[in-house]
Amino acid sequence: MDISRLPTEARQRRRAEIRAFLRSRRARVTPAEVGMPAGGGRRTSGLRREEVAVLAGVGVSWYTWLEQGREINVSGEVLDAVARVLRLDPSERAHLYLLAGLNPPPVDAGADAGPAVVPDALRRVVDGWLPRPAYLIDRHWNFVAVNDAARAVFGYGVGDHNCLVSFFTSAVTRSSLCHWQDAARAIVGQFRADAARYPDDPWFGRLAADMCAASPAFADLWAEHQVGSAAQGLKALRHDAVGELVFEYTTLPLPDLPGHRLMLYTPAPGGDTGARLARLLETGGAVGAEAGARS
């Protein structure tokens, strides 16, 4: 973001915001926390500008200009050093990047990190979305939480562990989803975008290779090198038990769980999907569950 191109009023607001933000973060860090002398015991809280500059390895004048919101050249490495000194959490670090005119780097737990702990409250959101379908996937497209409506509608059974794999290997998905080819192209584009977002994670390359071997349809689409992302849209399918169902879907990223996505489905307006969904759930989604187990 080129700050110099912002309107004058916007630049003034940004200067005031970065000044107030950095001052407030300096004030909450004690000298003892960063190994600085407290000045003979007279000062027990708050860092001075020059102390932040020394600890971050930058010039005092440069840091002063940063805090004043001047239009200076900044780099991610220097902002990270300032963030460490001021003990900024990931959200505050991203905020500092934006105020300084840089795109914040993605928050990444690392390719070798274990599975994220999903809060019980989030699982309750998935279950509480009933009678509408909802599920949660992690950054590797593995199912983390799936509610009963999603199982009944999409036929997800005990053998379904990964959203991408199920889409391309499930006979139920292939036969029931309307406009399957368009949906397949979109999902492969999203997967390629995710793979580019995590270049140090070899898992994406391994799954892509496995999918090319297992699914000619995936292999053909993967070779097109399409990239895309859809935060919302329509999904229509023909269910064996209740007929056509049309949903609006919304994809919600979760900042506290990097890479995870919450998928929420709502019956499209103007049709009878809501009534058909209610009938399906009244029967326990038996047809969908049986189909999912067979896939």
What's the rounded mean pLDDT across residues 187-197?
89
- Residue 4 is predicted with a pLDDT of 55
Q: What does the pLDDT look like over 97-140, one tens digit per residue?
A: 878 877 766 555 444 445 567 788 999 999 999 999 999 999 89
Report the percent of the chain where pLDDT is more than 70. 86
All structural domains of the chain with their residue ranges: 3-99, 120-294
| Top-level class of domain 120-294 | alpha beta
- Residue 285 is predicted with a pLDDT of 58
Mean pLDDT (the chain, rounded)? 84
Q: What is the CA radius of gyration of the chain?
A: 25
Res 232 pLDDT > 50 = yes
Task: Choose between 77 and 292: higher pLDDT.
Answer: 77
Alpha-carbon span 50 to 85, nearest angstrom: 12
What's the rounded mean pLDDT across residues 85-98?
84
* First CA to last CA distance, the chain: 48
The neighbour count for residue 134, using CB atoms within 10 Å, is 23
- Do 120-294 and 3-99 have the same topology in CATH? no
Res 237 pLDDT > 70 = yes
Contact partners, residue 229, CB within 8 Å, separation at least 6? 189, 190, 193
Res 215 pLDDT > 60 = yes
Q: Which of 103, 124, 216, 109 is nearest to 168 (CA)?
A: 216
Report whether 261 contacts 136 (CB < 8 A).
yes
Fold for domain 3-99?
A: 434 Repressor (Amino-terminal Domain) (1.10.260)
- Residue 292 is predicted with a pLDDT of 40
